Chains A and B, each alone.
Chain A
Amino acid sequence: MIELSVSRLNKRFGGNHVLKDVSFEVKGAEMIGLIGPNGAGKTTSIRMILEIIKPTSGEISILNGRSALEVRDRIGYLPEEKGLYKKMRAWSIIAYFATLKGMSRKDAKHRAFELLERYGLKDFANAKTEALSKGMGQKVQVLASIAHDPEFVILDEPFSGLDPVNQEVMEDVIRDLSERGHTVLFSTHVMSHAERICDQIVLLAGGKKVLDDTVENARHIIPRKLRLESPKSLQFLEQMGDVLRMAPIDEKGDIIVDGQGQPGKLWDVYLSEKAEPIDVIEACLREGIPLERFDYSPPSLHEVFVHLVGDQAKEASFR
């Protein structure tokens, strides 16, 4: 089943073309990250998926419905900017949003207390939301968006404004949702979250889709980096087919530019996406060159992100 299909989506605000021909599908995946720098069009896409605003052109089908309004009771939504009715109690706000999604008032109340207990907020069930800390408030809001047990949950920047501990708590909540069989789509510009919990990522930049793949595949699209240390020259590695380039670096990890210092023992070696780092060790052994250090970690999503959209994001922020 295709949970969500977006095809050739365009959106203009006046003369501003904020989404350009964006298409992607969510099929069988449980956790989708919509990532991209600020101003990439993530929130706009989400609002259009939910039919809060209308696209300029393009088709959206969610849960096989022509419109999100048809299936809105099966969707849960946490907006980017978080807010709750200040004077309402935690349980009643969760129950209220559930009733708006079609639950009976009795079930909604029961469900609200159940969720608050499950996620460790039992003691705050009767607190007014203005008395809650930001992290708790955000948790309450996530609970409010899933109180009606939706099949598809859309969270816009669920981690923003949370401290590292609470970010982890939020990750647990999201992972738990997915384990309970909800499809979760969330947007973020912090790659580490997406990296840890997503099955699929869709990368937007400047209103265009840049990448749409699994996290694993995404990591393979940029060169792999090794950090080697050896008392002997490593220049011979440049002859290897898989080595794209290599650069001497200093203790801090900065590249030593010609004429600004002596190349030391440390080198960064970039391998092509398909290369296996073990080949480099083998080559060194063959040449009889001792290695004092061999660092390899697969590229992080963060690096992929910076690699793909770094310049664009910077440009956008200084415009």
Chain B
Amino acid sequence: MRAIFMIALREYAENAKTKGFWIGLFLFPVIIFASIAVQRLLEDSTPTRHFVLVDQSGAYGAEIREDIDRAYRSSVLMALNGYALEHAVNPPEAKEIDLEETPPIDMAEMQQSIESHMGPEMGAMLDEEGIESMLELMSAPFDGLVEDRPEFEMPRPAFLEVPLPKELNADASVEELSEELRPYLRGEKTIVVDGEEVSLFACVLLPRDIQDFVQRPGLMADLKRAKALQDKVDAGPDAKPVRRGGQYWGSNLADSDLKNRIQRSINKTLQRRELETRGLDVAAVAAVNDTTLRLSALDPKKEEGKEEVSTADQIRQWAPVGFVYLLWIGIFTISQMLLNNTVEEKSNRIIEVLLSSVTAGELMMGKLAGIAGIGLTMIGVWMGSLVGILGLSAGPEAEFPTMLLEVLTGSGLIFWFVLYFCLGYLLYAGIFLAIGSLCNTIKDAQNLMGPVMLIMMVPIITMMFIPKDPNGTLATILSWIPLYTPFTMMNRAAADPPMFDKIGTLVLLVVFTLFTLVMVGRVFRAGILRTGQPPKIRELLSWMKP
């Protein structure tokens, strides 16, 4: 026992000194922290998008501008709300939101509903005075605002229209305009706004004849469209299209917010006008359109009266994916350490000195225990930092970390994670140890590692599918393969798998792990002093016989 402890102690101390260990230790908290910070950072750092709008038809310009303003007003309102909560005398406790009772929120839907209330009349309220009274109103439920608080800063607008460059003629044809705007869009030329040079993000060109391109439902219209498409194909790729209707020019394909917004605005305007020409009551139709009936998502597995799928349920469903990944990274990293230092001992022949002092069994147990200590330290720090960072960033204005923290600490996920980590580690570390004992060089080891790597890739590939059907055939089959039990069962942990699966796979995993370790012990004893080429399979099997 003493020898095992001494070996474990050395393994721990020496591996804890390696750079890899420290990088692994800190990388995870840094990633967690970054991914939370990055969301805010992205919002702050996405520059204001400058665009040019040329509406020769005069049909949609005003409405598009109003919609862009509306979006800005709503972002000001959100910022005001956040500011009021942050600097309130008695800010609301985050805990007051009961996630178990809260249905999942559709953020896009919520934003649209806020925007619908941000009509032009709100614009007047967003002057200095308006903001004061708005803040007062918002902070009233929380006993007003604290005295020493920073000045409220107006958020940057997401989109800002800039005038057409002076040398361009707004009445020129759309083709000419787009040709002349190209250098601006490519960043070759800049536009001066308020004495500052800005590059043009996009330009929107609405030609005089834009109404000709309105598409209406109906068979004839569909046929016409099909014909046009056919003509285009027949003309070949080189033919220059003559007329395009409304155009959005922008070189950033990834950020389509502006395009979507303008598209929506045009359609809304068009549809409203259609209603008017048909003599329908626009307000009534809008009211009808906003009339909804919510379909509750219910889970039959939950207890009676609490069947409604809540936000917490959704997080619980997906959080395990993160854990599976951590499990995989953790097990793989430290098993690799074990492999490396076993090969080092072998190639340095330190192994002989060790074996003149301790038995091969003690050596193996010591190494397993020492590296297990490294692994537990690592996941301990990971879990601690996860809870810590979430705890720090949790608060009334950070809903997601709060929810995540609560779900993590409230469910058994961490318990299962640690359990599966230990068992998975023993299983894979055992296999790696056996491989290490057979190889004299890292190169030999890498050859033998090939198949093991392939086997280990499976959980990573299936990781994203399993939550969609956590108790399906694939998940069940994988769960019963001991090599995959830790990953798959971790993946399914949230979906409340049948007790039979839970206990059965666990028992199988424990038995299989013990069996593997006994076999590994035999291979280790025989292989550790061997020099030269790794043994043949038949020789290996003969070692495994007691």
Partner-B contacts on A (CB < 8 A): 47, 50, 52-53, 68-69, 72, 75, 77-88, 96-97, 99-102, 141, 144-145
25 A-B residue pairs with CB within 8 Å: A47-B529, A53-B529, A68-B356, A72-B357, A75-B356, A77-B352, A78-B353, A79-B349, A81-B348, A81-B349, A81-B352, A82-B349, A83-B348, A83-B350, A85-B344, A85-B345, A86-B344, A87-B14, A87-B17, A88-B14, A96-B6, A100-B3, A100-B357, A100-B358, A141-B353
**Smallest distance from the beta carbon of B106 to chain A beta carbons, Å?**
54
B residues within 8 A CB of A85? 14, 344-345, 348, 350
B residues within 8 A CB of A141? 353
Q: Is the CB of B7 within 8 A of A100?
A: yes
In angstroms, Cα B285 to Cα A58, docked, is 103
In angstroms, Cα B54 to Cα A260, docked, is 116
Q: Is the CB of A52 within 8 A of B7?
A: no
In angstroms, Cα B195 to Cα A77, docked, is 82
Q: Which B residue's beta carbon lies closest to that of A102? A: B2
In angstroms, Cα B356 to Cα A68, docked, is 8
Q: Knowing A52-B356, A72-B357, A85-B344 touch, does A99 contact B6 (C-beta < 8 A)?
A: yes
B359 at the interface (CB under 8 A from A): yes
Q: Is the CB of A100 within 8 A of B350?
A: no
B residues within 8 A CB of A96? 6, 10
A residues within 8 A CB of B345? 85
A residues within 8 A CB of B2? 102
A residues within 8 A CB of B14? 85, 87-88
| Most chain B C-beta atoms within 10 Å of own C-beta, residue among A50, A68, A80 | A50
Q: Which of B337-359 contact A (CB under 8 A)?
A: 344-345, 347-350, 352-359
**Smallest distance from the beta carbon of B261 to chain A beta carbons, Å?**
58
**Smallest distance from the beta carbon of B538 to chain A beta carbons, Å?**
14
A residues within 8 A CB of B7? 100
In angstroms, Cα B348 to Cα A75, docked, is 21
Name the prevailing secondary structure of the B interface residues: helix
B residues within 8 A CB of A78? 353
**Smallest distance from the beta carbon of A293 to chain B beta carbons, Å?**
50
A residues within 8 A CB of B349? 79-83
| Most chain B C-beta atoms within 10 Å of own C-beta, residue among A78, A81, A84, A88 | A81
Q: Is the CB of A77 within 8 A of B348?
A: no
| Most chain B C-beta atoms within 10 Å of own C-beta, residue among A50, A83, A86, A141 | A83
A residues within 8 A CB of B347? 83
In angstroms, Cα B357 to Cα A301, docked, is 34
**How many residues of chain B get a CB closer than 8 Å to chain A's CBs?**
23
Partner-A contacts on B (CB < 8 A): 2-3, 6-7, 10, 14, 17-18, 344-345, 347-350, 352-359, 529
In angstroms, Cα B3 to Cα A75, docked, is 16
In angstroms, Cα B353 to Cα A82, docked, is 10
Q: Is the CB of A79 within 8 A of B359?
A: no
Q: Which among B17, B353, B355 is the interface contact of A144 at CB below 8 angstroms?
A: B353
| Most chain B C-beta atoms within 10 Å of own C-beta, residue among A53, A84, A85, A86 | A85
Q: Knowing A52-B529, A85-B344, A85-B348 touch, does A79 contact B353 (C-beta < 8 A)?
A: yes
| Most chain A C-beta atoms within 10 Å of own C-beta, residue among B3, B350, B352 | B352
Q: Which among B3, B10, B348, B356 is the interface contact of A50 at CB below 8 angstroms?
A: B356
Q: Which among B348, B357, B529 is the interface contact of A97 at CB below 8 angstroms?
A: B357
A residues within 8 A CB of B10? 96
Q: Is the CB of B357 within 8 A of A52?
A: no
B residues within 8 A CB of A69? 359
| Most chain B C-beta atoms within 10 Å of own C-beta, residue among A47, A78, A99, A144 | A99
In angstroms, Cα B349 to Cα A84, docked, is 8
Q: Is the CB of A77 within 8 A of B17?
A: no
In angstroms, Cα B10 to Cα A30, docked, is 34
Q: Which A residue's beta carbon lies closest to that of B355? A: A52
Q: Which A residue's beta carbon lies closest to that of B356? A: A77
Q: Which A residue's beta carbon lies closest to that of B7? A: A100
Going nearest first, the 6 A-B pairs with the smallest beta carbon separation are A83-B348, A79-B352, A81-B349, A77-B356, A100-B357, A83-B349
Q: Is the CB of B17 within 8 A of A100?
A: no
In angstroms, Cα B355 to Cα A273, docked, is 45
**Smallest distance from the beta carbon of A105 to chain B beta carbons, Å?**
8
In angstroms, Cα B352 to Cα A47, docked, is 9
A residues within 8 A CB of B529? 47, 52-53
**Smallest distance from the beta carbon of B532 to chain A beta carbons, Å?**
12
A residues within 8 A CB of B3? 100
B residues within 8 A CB of A81? 348-349, 352
In angstroms, Cα B362 to Cα A72, docked, is 14
In angstroms, Cα B349 to Cα A213, docked, is 32
Q: Which B residue's beta carbon lies closest to that of A129? A: B348
In angstroms, Cα B352 to Cα A87, docked, is 18
Q: Is the CB of A84 within 8 A of B352?
A: no
**Smallest distance from the beta carbon of A109 to chain B beta carbons, Å?**
13
**Smallest distance from the beta carbon of A23 to chain B beta carbons, Å?**
22
In angstroms, Cα B355 to Cα A101, docked, is 11
Q: Knowing A53-B529, A96-B10, A99-B6 touch, does A84 contact B350 (C-beta < 8 A)?
A: yes
6 additional A-B residue pairs with CB within 8 Å, beyond A83-B349, A87-B17, A101-B357: A69-B359, A75-B356, A79-B349, A81-B352, A86-B344, A97-B357
In angstroms, Cα B31 to Cα A84, docked, is 37
B residues within 8 A CB of A50? 355-356
In angstroms, Cα B7 to Cα A86, docked, is 16
**Smallest distance from the beta carbon of A155 to chain B beta carbons, Å?**
12
| Most chain A C-beta atoms within 10 Å of own C-beta, residue among B2, B344, B355, B359 | B355
A residues within 8 A CB of B359? 69
Q: Which B residue's beta carbon lies closest to that of A52? A: B355
